[in-house]
Structure 1
Amino acid sequence: MEETIEVAQTAQVPQQRGEQLPDTAVRYAKERHWDVFPGAWLEAEGGVEQCSCGDGSCAAPGAHPVREDWTDQATGSETVARRLWAKQPKASILLPTGRTFDAIDVPETAGFLALARMERMDLALGPVTLTPGRRMQFFVLPGAAAKAPDLVRKLGWPPASLDLRVLAEGDWVAAPPTRVGGRGAVQWVRRPTPANRWLPDTEELISPLAYACGRERRP
């Protein structure tokens, strides 16, 4: 019962009201030195929001790359970022993983459970996002994709048995306040601050994350 109470308290997600996509994209490049690139955006047609890609069955409407060469388009320059979003102010903010950070992606309920355990353990955490698809993404140092499977095995779990995946080179995350059509906006559970500029390594977070995902898979 005690653990359930702590999870509920942790789940007070901060809101990002009034943030403008272009200014925020520039701020990520300027203040965090993150590479950013503009993705798809939402268009209102007949009172219904549609993805700018035109695919009526788009899996991530308003929050995916729009160019095949998006890895080359991603920039850490605030000047270039400002120019990119000046061309399309409604473009989503996407961050390529595998560069300055990787992201460990888990279900929302497992993520909040793990977060409560991490706080009790006084672990140093990086930024954490919550997506409208009810996924949480924990930012860690690059290299997580190579480390995570063996670390999970050492904890006694076959990696394929857990709903835990690593977003690394060739992947991306959608950054707040990007909106995903019909679902809401990506939010920060833990905002980027000067205190969490130095990211944790995968080894520091994998145990509570794997434990929480393991609890999620039990009947």
Structure 2
Amino acid sequence: MEETIGVTGAAQIPKQRGEQLLDTAVRYAEERHWDVFPGTWLEAADGVELCSCNDRSCVLPGAHPAREDWATQSTGSATAARRLWSKQPKASILLPTGRTFDAIDVPETAGFLALARLERMELTLGPVTLTPNRRMQFFVLPGATVKVPDLVRKLGWPPATLDLRSLGEGDWVAAPPTRFGGHGAVQWARRPTPANRWLPDAEELISSLAYACGRERRR
């Protein structure tokens, strides 16, 4: 069951409810052929939710790898995903980047501005996540981490001046409906559909994303 909530006039975010993490992880592997791996989870202690890593200063409570060899643990097998989440049903769903997709990470306000602009231009867009700590990740073809810095420079921006980064090999994104401690759940700003199975190249999106991040920087 999905509940759609309005965020801006440009986008509607489908909010997932009533679906177990196990079922969702299996669906990502089975339907999208995405690699998945279980991360940490939230545990209640003294009336507050803490990360299962037991670090009270954890910056991503409930939404980071639970073990150092997470890259080798990730799997694109629905059967293996079912087995992993059967062992720990509360584990967050993390997707490694640098395999079937990279992601371009920007602030939420810049992301919605860019999303509206890209939709007006009728460009092909892949899935886009919205995290509870107010970040958006645009899924693009692998290889973005190599291209993005030079693409941003060609647009006249020193890469270090923009709050924009690409996530590739060695990184990951948290997938809906993973919850961050004290913040809420990851949601889809643009959910996966048969129409966006084929991802855009970073070069197709970077102008709108850099412009939006630059505008936020000036503000």
Compute the TM-score of the two structures, normalised by the length of structure 1. Answer: 0.96
Corresponding residue of 1:92: 92
How far, CA to CA, are the matches of 2:194 and 2:26 in structure 1? 17
Structure 2, unaligned stretches of length 5 or more?
A: 1-6
How far, CA to CA, are the matches of 2:19 and 2:86 in structure 1? 16
Q: Which runs of 4+ in 1 moved over 6 A?
A: none
3-state SS of paired residue (1:15): strand
Displacement of 1:14 in angstroms is 1.6
Corresponding residue of 2:125: 125
Corresponding residue of 1:145: 145
How far, CA to CA, are the matches of 1:189 and 1:19 in structure 2? 18
Corresponding residue of 1:4: none
The 5 A counterparts of 1:13-24 are 13-24=13-24
Displacement of 1:13 in angstroms is 1.8
Corresponding residue of 1:49: 49
Q: Which amino acid aligns with 2:56?
A: G
Corresponding residue of 1:33: 33
Displacement of 1:11 in angstroms is 3.8
2:40–2:92 Cα contact (<8 Å) kept:
yes
How far, CA to CA, are the matches of 1:68 and 1:16 in structure 2? 29
Displacement of 1:18 in angstroms is 1.4
Q: Which amino acid aligns with 1:55?
A: D
Corresponding residue of 1:159: 159
Matched, 1:73 2:89: no
Displacement of 1:198 in angstroms is 0.2
RMSD value, Cα: 0.9
The 5 A counterparts of 1:195-214 are 195-214=195-214
3-state SS of paired residue (1:110): helix
Deviates more, 1:101-110 or 1:38-47: 38-47
Of Structure 1 and Structure 2, which has the larger fraction of its residues in strand? 2
Q: Which amino acid aligns with 1:217?
A: R
Q: Which amino acid aligns with 1:176?
A: P
Displacement of 1:93 in angstroms is 0.1
Matched, 1:173 2:173: yes
3-state SS of paired residue (2:44): strand
Displacement of 1:8 in angstroms is 2.5
How far, CA to CA, are the matches of 1:145 and 1:51 in structure 2? 29
2:11–2:116 Cα contact (<8 Å) kept:
no
Corresponding residue of 1:63: 63
How far, CA to CA, are the matches of 1:90 and 1:99 in structure 2? 25
How far, CA to CA, are the matches of 1:56 and 1:126 in structure 2? 35
Offset from partner CA, 1:11-35 (integer Å, 9 cap, x none): 4322111121000000000000000
Displacement of 1:45 in angstroms is 1.2
Corresponding residue of 1:193: 193
Deviates more, 1:176-185 or 1:38-47: 38-47
User: What is the count of residue pairs matched by the alignment?
Assistant: 213
Deviates more, 1:14-23 or 1:35-44: 14-23
How far, CA to CA, are the matches of 1:205 and 1:79 in structure 2? 35
